[in-house]
Structure 1
Amino acid sequence: MAEQAQFDLVIIGSGPGGYVAAVRATQLGLKTAVVEKASRLGGVCLNVGCIPSKALLDASEYYHLARERFAEYGIKTGKVSLDLKAMLSRKDKVVADLTENVRKLLEGNGIEVVHGTASVPAAGTVEVDTGKKKTTTLSTQNILLATGSEPIEVKGLEFDGRHIVSSTEALDFDAVPGHLGIVGGGYIGLELGSVWNRLGSTVTVVEMLPKIATTLDGQVGRTLDRILKKQGLAFKLNTRVVEARVVRNKVKALLESGGSTETMTFDRLLVSVGRRPLVRGLGIEELGIETDPGTGQILVDETYRTSVDGIYAIGDLIPGPMLAHKASAEGTAAVECMAGRAGEVNYDTIPAVVYTWPEVASVGLTEEQMREREIPYCVGSFPFSGAGRARCMGETDGFVKLIAHGKTDRILGVHIIGPRAADMIAECVLALEFGASSEDISRTIHGHPTFAEALQEAAMNVRKCSIYTS
């Protein structure tokens, strides 16, 4: 049985890219529908990614503070215990509330939501399997693919959903693992490792490369490594997990490093080596949509149009960092282009955040990239140990690092490791967007006492540095 409907735009996927694009499209006068295969809206980010992980990070940080730090502030609590079920229930409520908000947002903007599995048999047509042998056909002028990504599964480390798991299952363990192994030292692994370490797990991170969080500025990455080790995380670098198998409810993993091997036993093994575009079943190969042969990402032009007219793609499906806020910006830009407006995204000013504690946030070029590009530069830095607000909170680990062009003083990169870094980076993104100089930041009055004063101090120090060239 088939039903037909006509739209200006059909968006496949209701994550941060899809739902933001839908609202902007209706503002521009486009009759819009959103197709979502899951029962709840919000995509990976709201349901099994950004939001639930941050809810657990905050909850586990409170638990850690209550157990380890309250006494130094003069707070006596008695014995502190963990109610994991309650913690997970709160996380689920946060997710449910936000996904419901997305539903209301789309409904309030007159956007039709169709639940089911979508495929694109041809440009201008979206078929939705809504279950019970019922298919809905949506006719449309434009199609926006915004289906996001999924965890990469590694041969020999296949997910079983209980012992060898992806990030999705690692958000819902029914008990704190005695020993949690993590394959991959990227953002996701470090964040989830932090959660379970605070709640009582022994955590071992196995990374093939010689350092963790490889995209970070080198100085920041080394500092993060040191701080996480101090918190109790263990790292095995230059090490590969060859295979893993479940034996008597434990995971036995074979590790290889420098030609030698060893076996480690874990209660759970989180495989977090990256994500890949989720395009299964869409029919992009049959349509002839061009993709990158190495990554599988869909190639688009400056308007986010694929190689097939009338079909666009954004977010994790296309090249660039797999970040929710990148997808949202691209969703807005893509529909503006469809509507004949000048939509674009400045990829040089997309912030990245690692929600460990302390947090790490960055925007722009790293010091290593400055050297590779042979750009003359100056660096100014300031430790949080010198900031009054950080002292008051007892959060003095980390620093702010600001990189400016050696001749023009224009800010080209900012890297922060410390408390509230995720919020502080917004000022830095704005500075890059407006082409600000370090002097602009240094002469901007910052409230006292605040964490942001450390940024102002770092900017002041830029002007004292010598000019480095490669």
Structure 2
Amino acid sequence: MNVIKTRVAIIGAGTAGLAAWRAARAHRQEVVLIEGGAYGTTCARVGCMPSKLLIAAADCAHQLERAPTFGIHPGQVQIRGREVMARVRGERDRFVGLVNASVESIPVELRLRGRARLVDAHSLMVDDHTRIEADALVIATGSRPSFPADWRRLGDRLVVSDEVFEWQQLPGSVAVFGPGVIGLELGQALHRLGVKTWMFGMGGQVGPLTDPEVMGYAAGCLRKAFFLDADARIGRMERQGQGVEIDFLDAEGVNQRIRVDYVLAATGRRPNVDGLGLERLGMALDDRGVPLADPYTLQTSLPHIFVAGDASNQLPLLHEANDQGRIAGDNAGRFPEVRAGLRHSRLSVVFTDPQLAMVGADYRELERRYGGCDCFAIGRASFEDQGRSRVMLRHQGLLRVYGEQGSGLFLGAEMMAPEAEHLAHLLAWAHQSRMTVAQMLAMPFYHPVVEEGLRTALRDLHARLHLGPALGDRCMECGVGD
């Protein structure tokens, strides 16, 4: 058996693991990277990049569909599913290839292939061929889709989001379970590409939103485009030949039966920490068996073990995984010295149309923090009559921004808006800079742009913070300005 003694061992070669390896190597030469699955990050293989490729195709089809509204008639549109999926897989493979090239630049003696399991707090086995003894460890094992175990009876008619991008052809119909980030993105894209789509959820939750007004608006907007029941009452779901029959009660309480080609389970992801042997270490775990970690150091209850990325109890987003990997690797490399790392302001985007986004503190967090003391105020803006949005025929959306009474500090925002990804970045920069609402309003706003809707919301918030006059008339020089 091969035995390796090293300063740092990193389990997982995804986004967090690669960031940890680079950070740890800035302090130590003896750093090994272990991967038990395919190289290529979740983002590149089955996450953000292939999903955006599918969304880009869907957006193109949607633009052609609504072109006659502008007086432009492109003729009959043909959606060729094989060509759509061929491009998705081809570009996906290119992204994965770039990641693999980065992994392969790591010296081969520092890369190990195989499944890791912990023997004790400082030792682990890689398959049955190598024992590693390390001063510090970083767990960056990623996550996998999860769904109720009894759904396995649907056989190959059940797919998870990871498998969608292997389709050679688009199906005729699909039932999507889980209107979260993945479900909403894939469900709307498939609908726009001509796939008959039903979307079911539980408890009324839509996306990651917590603001009830924004969530209600978003649910109503999406329901106008395709079937969405965010609080579904499902009866029977059975495999029938090369399809699945589903019985459910609709919003009016009427029994409905549909038959779909596939059931797409978008019901969440599970951290890949089971099987590592964490239970034998006496480490503090949450109720899912995931290591609890300090959000600023990524240090677990065992001081020399750090956890990062989707394997942690933090936000499962690529930029978060990169930040966490960097912090965890830096601390593992300099251990026993540990430093708090820079954590960016919360920023999340759902690439539906209109897009959903959240920045800084969300509504639920602020309700908990301030507990009914009227210590924060809310400003709002609708995009239904916003100038640039109407010009583009994309006038759907609602933005709610939050500010602290007394200080005027900008606290956060939730929104559904056209190109919300850009609004969210502006707000995230303002939040991380700890800007006040007054300081934000002193920044330049061009005309006509969608960002003028942000100015409207900030003006409304400024007034509700009792720091300025009430929102007055809109731009009188050119009609609808804000």
Q: How is 1:357-368 mapped onto 2 (pairs within 5 angstroms)?
A: 357-368=353-364
Cα–Cα, structure 1 residues 369 and 5, in superposed 2: closer, same or farther, change >3 Å? Answer: closer
Paired letter, 2:77: V
**C-alpha separation in 2, matches of 1:309 and 1:371:** 34
Look up the match of 1:234: 227
**C-alpha separation in 2, matches of 1:56 and 1:366:** 29
What is the CA deviation profile of residues 16-39 of structure 1, one whole-angstrom value per residue up to 9, with x for unaligned ones? 211222222223445333222223
1:379 Cα deviation after fit: 2.1
Q: TM-score, normalised by structure 1?
A: 0.88
> Residue 138 of structure 2 is aligned with which of 124, 135, 144?
144
Cα–Cα, structure 1 residues 222 and 122, in superposed 2: closer, same or farther, change >3 Å? Answer: same
Q: How is 1:314-329 mapped onto 2 (pairs within 5 angstroms)?
A: 314-329=308-323
Look up the match of 1:397: 396
Question: Does the 8 A contact of 1:19 with 1:102 survive in 2?
Answer: no
Cα–Cα, structure 1 residues 238 and 382, in superposed 2: closer, same or farther, change >3 Å? Answer: closer
1:331 Cα deviation after fit: 1.3
Question: Does the 8 A contact of 1:185 with 1:213 survive in 2?
Answer: yes
1:386 Cα deviation after fit: 5.0
Question: Does the 8 A contact of 1:238 with 1:257 survive in 2?
Answer: no
**C-alpha separation in 2, matches of 1:391 and 1:262:** 37
Look up the match of 1:247: 240
Paired letter, 2:459: M
Cα–Cα, structure 1 residues 368 and 342, in superposed 2: closer, same or farther, change >3 Å? Answer: closer
Question: Does the 8 A contact of 2:404 with 2:465 survive in 1?
Answer: no
Look up the match of 2:94: 97
**C-alpha separation in 2, matches of 1:441 and 1:282:** 47
**C-alpha separation in 2, matches of 1:364 and 1:418:** 17
Cα–Cα, structure 1 residues 71 and 285, in superposed 2: closer, same or farther, change >3 Å? Answer: same
**C-alpha separation in 1, matches of 2:439 and 2:107:** 44
Paired letter, 2:120: A
SS of residue matched to 1:86: helix
Look up the match of 1:81: 78
Cα–Cα, structure 1 residues 97 and 33, in superposed 2: closer, same or farther, change >3 Å? Answer: farther
What is the CA deviation profile of residues 56-97 of structure 1, one whole-angstrom value per residue up to 9, with x for unaligned ones? 11121112212x123344554332212222222222233222
Q: How is 1:333-344 mapped onto 2 (pairs within 5 angstroms)?
A: 333-338=327-332, 339=334, 340=337, 342-344=339-341
> Residue 264 of structure 2 is aligned with which of 265, 270, 275?
270
Question: Does the 8 A contact of 2:358 with 2:414 survive in 1?
Answer: yes
> Residue 177 of structure 2 is aligned with which of 173, 183, 195?
183
1:431 Cα deviation after fit: 1.5
Give the alignment's Cα RMSD to 1 decimal.
Answer: 2.8
1:188 Cα deviation after fit: 1.5
Question: Does the 8 A contact of 2:7 with 2:31 survive in 1?
Answer: yes
Question: Does the 8 A contact of 2:17 with 2:140 survive in 1?
Answer: yes
**C-alpha separation in 2, matches of 1:128 and 1:283:** 13
Cα–Cα, structure 1 residues 268 and 80, in superposed 2: closer, same or farther, change >3 Å? Answer: same
Question: Does the 8 A contact of 1:148 with 1:278 survive in 2?
Answer: yes
Q: How is 1:49-60 mapped onto 2 (pairs within 5 angstroms)?
A: 49-60=47-58
**C-alpha separation in 1, matches of 2:89 and 2:37:** 16
Look up the match of 1:128: 126
Look up the match of 1:156: 150
**C-alpha separation in 2, matches of 1:40 and 1:335:** 19
What is the CA deviation profile of residues 342-396 of structure 1, one whole-angstrom value per residue up to 9, with x for unaligned ones? 233547x211211111111111334454344224222222333454443443322
> Residue 310 of structure 1 is aligned with which of 290, 298, 304?
304
Question: Does the 8 A contact of 2:408 with 2:465 survive in 1?
Answer: no
Look up the match of 1:201: 195
Percent identical residues: 25
SS of residue matched to 1:307: coil
**C-alpha separation in 1, matches of 2:407 and 2:261:** 54
Cα–Cα, structure 1 residues 306 and 410, in superposed 2: closer, same or farther, change >3 Å? Answer: same
**C-alpha separation in 2, matches of 1:362 and 1:116:** 38
Cα–Cα, structure 1 residues 261 and 8, in superposed 2: closer, same or farther, change >3 Å? Answer: farther
**C-alpha separation in 1, matches of 2:76 and 2:386:** 33
Paired letter, 2:417: G
1:257 Cα deviation after fit: 8.4
Name structure 2 gaps, 5 residues minimum: 467-482
Look up the match of 1:222: 216
Look up the match of 2:204: 210
Question: Does the 8 A contact of 1:399 with 1:416 survive in 2?
Answer: yes
What is the CA deviation profile of residues 185-214 of structure 1, one whole-angstrom value per residue up to 9, with x for unaligned ones? 222111111111011122222222134236
What is the CA deviation profile of residues 244-298 of structure 1, one whole-angstrom value per residue up to 9, with x for unaligned ones? 32112121234468999764422211122222211233222233333223x2222
**C-alpha separation in 1, matches of 2:154 and 2:10:** 32
**C-alpha separation in 1, matches of 2:36 and 2:235:** 35
Question: Does the 8 A contact of 1:156 with 1:244 survive in 2?
Answer: no
**C-alpha separation in 1, matches of 2:447 and 2:30:** 49
2:351 paired with 1:355: yes
1:108 Cα deviation after fit: 4.5
SS of residue matched to 1:226: helix
2:297 paired with 1:300: no
Paired letter, 2:426: E
**C-alpha separation in 2, matches of 1:214 and 1:98:** 27
SS of residue matched to 2:150: coil
Question: Does the 8 A contact of 2:355 with 2:419 survive in 1?
Answer: yes
Farther-moved stretch of structure 1 (414-423 vs 53-62): 414-423
